[in-house]
């Protein structure tokens, strides 16, 4: 924090941590200063401050520790899960610390960075055909668990998912905004755990807060009004008919997760807003270049929806939106297509403007 002299100082966190897992949560809500709209104030909840850089760190620790308490997960037993990447990365971190082997199934359409991050954390990554979508990787994980006696994490059905967001994410928001207005909360959905857990808290403690749910414009599963087919265990029985492939990785699989169904049944959200993938990428880039906040495509999507809300919100409104992860998960995706690795013409001109230290090729 700046002192009276203007110099920044730090005082530490006031505690020592027993493991990396104890650093999960307590992520900051950060005010947006240069990309505001209307007469509202926008804050972002920056989940890339978690140790493995995404909101799914919370889910990963919740799944493993609940399974340990219940006895479903035995010491040394292999964990297996289907994931678009962030849950797998979080699970890889947790399993590395706790000593569980991890196998992840993932459609080969997701970014290669995610595979490599999971593998450097010790996980095995089994790729499934992109044509089979999320349901294919889900069923592959179930097959492997049944064949080998592994523990299937079941992020899309487990009650531990929403529970951890009710206990941590939602309570952090209430605490951080205890002395402030909070007129809107904006989030997307993957499993639905963030939406359900935070909504439980806000409906109880901040009922004046409107909850806005975002989904991809070309994959409006909830917006379609069509019901998801499920098995008796809550698992999806088929791909949702409204699904189309979209570039907002981590959002909206090709089925409506069982965890999310609670939000639908209890109408936890007040408004449903679609956003196009290219717009999500534009806003992610704008956050990086105008605010110094580096988030992924899903973060750009939620921020884009938050700005739409800000443009029409009453003066003085306060909006909080979720930024689920970091932009470093997207280096090989279309989000970085226009970001060159070599010098552009302006950079080359800067290089030539002084006589020394120029690359030989120039």
- Residue whose token pair is 């689920």: 324
Domain assignment of residue 359, yes or no: no
**Residue 6, in any domain of the structure:** no
Q: Each residue of 326-347: pLDDT tens digit?
A: 999 999 999 999 999 999 999 9
Same domain, 148 and 288: no
DSSP state letters, 63-116: HHHHHHHHTSS-TTPPEEEE-SSHHHHHHHHHHHHHT--EEEEEETTS-HHHHH
- What pLDDT shows up at residue 362? 47
CA distances from 35 to 301, 317, 322 (A): 14, 15, 16
d(CA 323, CA 56): 12
- Measured CA to CA in angstroms, residue 33 lies from 26, 138, 177 at distances of 22, 41, 18
Count structural domains, the chain: 2
- 140 and 175, same structural domain? no
Computed on alpha carbons and rounded to an integer, the radius of gyration of the chain in Å comes to 21
pLDDT band at 238 (very low <50, low <70, confident <90, very high): very high
Tokens 């590395």 belong to which residue? 96
pLDDT the model gives residue 111: 86
Together in a domain, 148 and 240: no
- Specify whether 119 is located in the same domain as 186: no
Indicate if 145 and 238 belong to the same structural domain. no
> Tens of pLDDT along 210-221?
999 999 999 999
* pLDDT tens readout for residues 22-79: 999 999 999 999 998 989 999 999 999 999 999 999 999 999 999 999 999 999 999 9
> Is it the case that residue 10 has pLDDT exceeding 60?
yes
Could you give the residue numbers annotated as active site?
56, 298
Say if residue 193 is in the same domain as residue 299.
yes
> Which candidate, 52, 96, 59, 103, places its Cα nearest to that of 79?
103
Query: Residue length, the chain?
Result: 362
Out of 100, 118, 152, pick the residue that ends a domain.
152
Residues 252 and 312 in one domain: yes
Residue 3 — pLDDT band, cuts 50, 70, 90? low
CATH of residue 217's domain is 3.40.50.1100
In a domain, residue 235? The reply is: yes
Residue 265 tokens read as 């049944």
| Per-residue CA distances from 335 to 165, 191, 217, 301 (Å) | 28, 23, 17, 12
How far is residue 200 CA from its own chain's centroid? 19
Are residues 195 and 269 both part of a single domain?
yes
Q: What is the mean pLDDT of residues 289-312?
A: 98
Residues 210 and 123 in one domain: no
Whether residue 46 sits in one domain with residue 122: no
Full domain range(s) for residue 310: 20-53+169-336
Summarize the confidence of residues 283-304 as an average pLDDT.
98
Is residue 240 a part of any domain in this protein?
yes
What percent of the chain shows pLDDT beyond 70?
98
List Cα–Cα distances, 304 to 20, 188, 280, 326, in angstroms: 32, 11, 6, 16
Q: Is residue 207 part of a domain?
A: yes
Residue 356 lies in a domain: no
């Amino acid at each position: 924090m700046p002192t009276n002299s203007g110099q920044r100082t730090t005082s530490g966190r006031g505690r020592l941590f027993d493991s990396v897992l104890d650093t999960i949560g307590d992520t900051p809500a950060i005010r947006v200063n240069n990309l505001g709209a209307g007469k509202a104030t926008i804050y972002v909840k920056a989940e890339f401050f978690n140790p493995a850089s995404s909101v799914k760190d919370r889910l990963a620790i919740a799944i493993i520790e609940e399974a340990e308490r219940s006895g479903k997960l035995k010491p040394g037993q292999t964990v297996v899960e289907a994931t678009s990447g962030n849950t797998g990365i979080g699970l890889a971190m947790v399993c590395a610390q706790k000593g569980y082997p991890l196998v992840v199934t993932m459609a080969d359409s997701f970014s290669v960075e995610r595979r490599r991050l999971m593998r450097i954390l010790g996980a095995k990554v089994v790729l499934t055909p992109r044509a089979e979508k999320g349901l294919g990787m889900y069923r592959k994980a179930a097959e492997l668990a049944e064949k080998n006696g592994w523990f299937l994490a079941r992020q899309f059905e487990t009650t531990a998912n929403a529970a951890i967001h009710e206990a941590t994410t939602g309570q952090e928001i209430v605490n951080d905004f205890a002395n402030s207005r909070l007129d809107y909360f904006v989030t997307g959905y993957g499993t639905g755990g963030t939406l359900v857990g935070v909504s439980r808290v806000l409906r109880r403690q901040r009922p004046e807060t409107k909850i806005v749910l975002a989904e991809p414009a070309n994959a409006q599963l909830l917006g379609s009004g069509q019901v998801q087919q499920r098995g008796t265990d809550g698992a999806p029985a088929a791909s949702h008919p409204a699904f189309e492939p979209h570039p907002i990785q981590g959002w909206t699989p090709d089925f409506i997760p069982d965890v999310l169904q609670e939000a639908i049944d209890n109408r936890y959200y007040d408004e449903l807003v679609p956003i196009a993938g290219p717009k999500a990428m534009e806003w992610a880039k704008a956050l990086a270049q105008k605010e110094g906040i580096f988030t992924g495509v899903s973060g750009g999507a939620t921020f884009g929806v938050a700005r739409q809300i800000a443009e029409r919100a009453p003066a003085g409104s306060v909006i909080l939106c979720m930024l689920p992860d970091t932009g470093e998960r997207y280096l090989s995706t279309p989000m970085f297509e226009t970001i060159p690795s070599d010098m552009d013409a302006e950079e080359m001109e800067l290089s030539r403007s002084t006589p020394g230290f120029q690359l030989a090729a120039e």
